[in-house]
């Protein structure tokens, strides 16, 4: 019996001035793990596991980089929508966060 999997995909730009850094990747992974679907992030021909901080960091996605967020599973549409919104909403780091990251 074939399983009925839904696939959803969305392109989104990294809006965070520091790019997809450790804190941003951690937020992404935590959100991705809240869904049942498998999540992948594609960037410049590299495919990262959306549930792995190290895998996401390997993308070295700077501010302005386009990412393709893809999910496969029963809640794929919801997962992609939430994750794409997270990436686009992380547009600004506070000055304190930038200073902390520089130390």
Predicted local confidence at residue 14, as pLDDT: 95
Global pTM value: 0.84
Residue 27 maps to which CATH number?
Answer: 3.30.1340.10
Whether the per-residue pLDDT at 101 is higher than 60: the answer is no
Has residue 1 been placed in a domain?
no
Measured CA to CA, the distance from residue 78 to residue 60 in angstroms comes to 25
DSSP letters spanning 7-21: EEEEEEE---TT-S-
**Active-site residue numbers?**
21
Predicted local confidence at residue 5, as pLDDT: 78
> Which residue is associated with the tokens 């850094």?
21
Structure tokens given for 43: 């960037």
Range of the domain at 27: 6-102
Q: Pairing relation of β-strands 38-43 and 6-13?
A: unpaired
Least confident range of 1-15, 42-56, 57-71: 1-15
Domains held by the chain: number: 1
Q: Which of 65, 59, 54 is nearest to 90 (CA)?
A: 65
């Amino acid at each position: 019996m074939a399983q009925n999997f839904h696939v959803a995909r969305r392109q989104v730009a990294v809006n965070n001035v520091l790019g997809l850094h450790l804190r941003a990747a951690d937020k992404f992974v935590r959100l991705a793990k809240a869904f049942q679907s498998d999540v992948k992030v594609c960037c410049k021909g590299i495919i990262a596991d959306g549930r792995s901080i190290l895998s996401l960091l390997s993308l070295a996605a700077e501010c302005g980089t386009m990412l393709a967020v893809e999910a496969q599973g029963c809640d794929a549409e919801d997962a992609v929508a939430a994750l794409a919104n997270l990436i686009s909403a992380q547009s600004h780091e506070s000055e304190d966060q930038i200073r902390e990251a520089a130390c």
